[in-house]
Amino acid sequence: MKAADKMLSKRYARAYMDLDGAAFDKHGESAARARIAELEKIRNAVSQFRRLFLHPLVGYDDKNEVLTKLLSSVSVGDVTKAYAQQTAKDPVAPQAAAFVRLLLRENRFYLLEPVLEDCMRFYNAYAGVARAEVVSRHPLDEEELRHIAKTLSASTGKKVHVTQIVSERVIGGMEIRFGDLLIDDTVKGRLERLKKNILSF
């Protein structure tokens, strides 16, 4: 993705999440999670029509008509029902729909996925959540993933959410990506370190 589009994505996400300067509390966290969930639900609902929404020769009115029909068949507000009961103003579901219409109107629907990723980053920063990826050849069990999350959390003081990736490029062991940190405990990584040690003699 171009640098300009990355900047646009962050701007859209920042405006949509509206978390700048907000103090963390349970109500704010619930609302932030709901906004992301609503946007994801719309993303999933329109995924089959992505090519149409991206087509430069299809006008906004036609795209909006298709979007409206798609959203009418999706219970967009279910995720935020509890939140909506707490406050009648600032309903989340209409915001999500209006946001997607804004992307369509400005011919930037292609940014929907990057915006969602940036929304999650803003949420993680707001909630004090750090994300880690564990790459291994075979799936790890829940206990192993909890142990990794607990260890990383203890070293950073943050809540850590671990995502598991299964890849055949890993012969054995695991690789942990945590921010700018890469912990390579794969068989290949061990062999590389052994090779360097031998060559250093």
d(CA 136, CA 173): 6
Q: Of 30-44, 51-65, 173-187, which range is least confident?
A: 173-187
pLDDT in tens, 22-47: 777 888 888 899 999 999 999 999 99
Residue range 130-160, pLDDT digits in tens: 888 999 988 989 998 999 899 888 888 888 8
- Ordered by where they begin, the domains of the chain are 3-127 (no CATH), 129-199 (3.40.30)
| Predicted TM-score (pTM) of this structure | 0.67
Residue 51 has pLDDT above 80, yes or no: yes
Q: How confident is the model at residue 191 (pLDDT cuts 50, 70, 90)?
A: low
